[in-house]
Amino acid sequence: MSTQPVIEMCMSARVIVTCGTGGVGKTSVAAALGYEIAQQGKRAIVITIDPARRLADAIGLGEGTGNEIQRVPLDTTGELWVTMLDVQETFDSLVRDTSPTPERAKEVMDNSFYRSLSRSLSGTRDYMAAERLYDLCEDSRFDVIIVDTPPSRNALDFLESPERLARFLKHPIVKFLVAPSRGGFRLVNAAMQPVFKAISTVVGGDTLTGTAAFLRAFDGMEEEFSRRALVVAKTLRSASSSFVIVTAPSPDALTEADHFVSELSRLGITLRLIVANRMPPHFGTSTAAEEHSLAKSQSGDLARVHELIAGLHDHADRADSDIQAFIQRTSTAFPAVSIAFATELATDIHDMDSIGALAQQLAAPPAQQ
């Protein structure tokens, strides 16, 4: 069996989640992992958030709309599929799936509170990311689901959203509200106002009556809703899910990577892999010190060339030591974490060849990285 950590993860994980700050190459790495899985003969789907335009074109999402699932043409026995997250479409299909009748589904979907809930709230995006993940986990067409998280500090909020939602839907106040009322509209009761206020803080809504009407229409659907949410929460915390932090060697990226490490610790989730991406390449056999001293002993253009090479060495050495310091800090929290390196390629990641080149670096034996 291979001991290469990336291949091992690709062969054993059911769900892979990539996190990291914007610009470090998270989406490129998610695509490269999917590519590697396809190379290994398995079927992967990457659910990606806002891929850079050219990357979207490269993986076939350039024309994609909504939740549409697209297959990337590859010359492999395995398969690579890609999709994006459409919050509205996901919420609508969840409502259709869980409502007892089509009429009830329509009632919920026509509700103004539902419309604003499904359109505008960032919390809803988290719930729907989790719901979409549930859906893809149920889909027998895929062996591995790779989740590319959005480029924000709160990217891991979706991990908590299933439990938050399930807790909310089970709350006695919600149960009370959706119960058929005997004495007309409960909302007229002034004593209930603080309760509604609390609820609208949780759901994030601004119209209390809309909230209540929504919850009523929603009645009975919450059981399936929270069941799914809890299945996802359990999957994400199980050994079949692997979390990956992607970082570049810049100070900003590493500060954000530290933040993700502490978020994962707080959530009780094990970090499986660090990808140190966009590393400046090393070249030649000389050291920075040798080049500096050659620069001093020469003059004119030759001195400038050695100065330049010394500068590139310094840059690569600094990147190495910053990454090593990060790995050391992270190993304290996650002693079993693996590391994979990828250098800054000569070109953007903009086609399947560059995704393949990135995958090849990630899956190289540790000695070659």
Ligand X SMILES: Nc1ncnc2c1ncn2[C@@H]1O[C@H](COP(=O)(O)OP(=O)(O)O)[C@@H](O)[C@H]1O
Contacts with ligand X by CB under 6 A lie at 20, 22-28, 52, 55, 151, 277-278, 342, 344-345, 348-349, 358
DSSP 59: T
Q: Least separation, in Å, of the C-beta of 269 and ligand X?
A: 20
Whose Cβ is closer to ligand X: residue 27's or residue 40's? 27
Whose Cβ is closer to ligand X: residue 215's or residue 274's? 274
Whose Cβ is closer to Mg ion: residue 211's or residue 277's? 277
Written as six digits, the tokens of 220 are: 């009975």
Whose Cβ is closer to ligand X: residue 55's or residue 212's? 55
25 binds, among Mg ion, ligand X, none (CB under 5 to 8 A by kind): ligand X
C-beta of residue 173 within 8 angstroms of C-beta of residue 201 = no
CA pair distance 131, 151, nearest whole angstrom: 20
Whose Cβ is closer to ligand X: residue 52's or residue 109's? 52
173 binds, among ligand X, Mg ion, none (CB under 5 to 8 A by kind): none
41 binds, among ligand X, Mg ion, none (CB under 5 to 8 A by kind): none
DSSP 299: -
Q: Least separation, in Å, of the C-beta of 349 and ligand X?
A: 4
Sheet bearing 271-279, strands edge to edge: 70-72, 79-84, 43-48, 144-148, 15-19, 241-247, 271-279, 338-343
The candidate with the shortest Cα–Cα distance to 11, out of 45, 29, 38, is 38
Q: Least separation, in Å, of the C-beta of 260 and ligand X?
A: 12
Q: Least separation, in Å, of the C-beta of 320 and ligand X?
A: 16
344 binds, among Mg ion, ligand X, none (CB under 5 to 8 A by kind): ligand X
Angle at 336 between CA 333 and CA 338, to 5 degrees: 105
* Closest residue to bound ligand X by CB: 25
Q: Least separation, in Å, of the C-beta of 264 and ligand X?
A: 17
C-beta of residue 72 within 8 angstroms of C-beta of residue 60 = yes
137 binds, among ligand X, Mg ion, none (CB under 5 to 8 A by kind): none
Q: Least separation, in Å, of the C-beta of 49 and ligand X?
A: 8
Whose Cβ is closer to ligand X: residue 52's or residue 173's? 52
Question: Which residues form the interface with Mg ion (CB under 5 A)?
Answer: 26-27
Whose Cβ is closer to ligand X: residue 68's or residue 348's? 348
Q: Least separation, in Å, of the C-beta of 356 and ligand X?
A: 12
Whose Cβ is closer to Mg ion: residue 64's or residue 210's? 64
276 binds, among Mg ion, ligand X, none (CB under 5 to 8 A by kind): none
CA pair distance 213, 196, nearest whole angstrom: 12
Residue 46 phi, psi dihedral angles, 5° rounding: -105, 120
C-beta of residue 132 within 8 angstroms of C-beta of residue 84 = no
Crossing angle (nearest 10°) for helices 208-217 and 193-203: 70
Crossing angle (nearest 10°) for helices 102-110 and 208-217: 170
23 binds, among Mg ion, ligand X, none (CB under 5 to 8 A by kind): ligand X
Burial track 203-231 (b if 16+ CB lie within 10 A, e otherwise): bebeebebbbbbbbbbbebbeebbebbbb
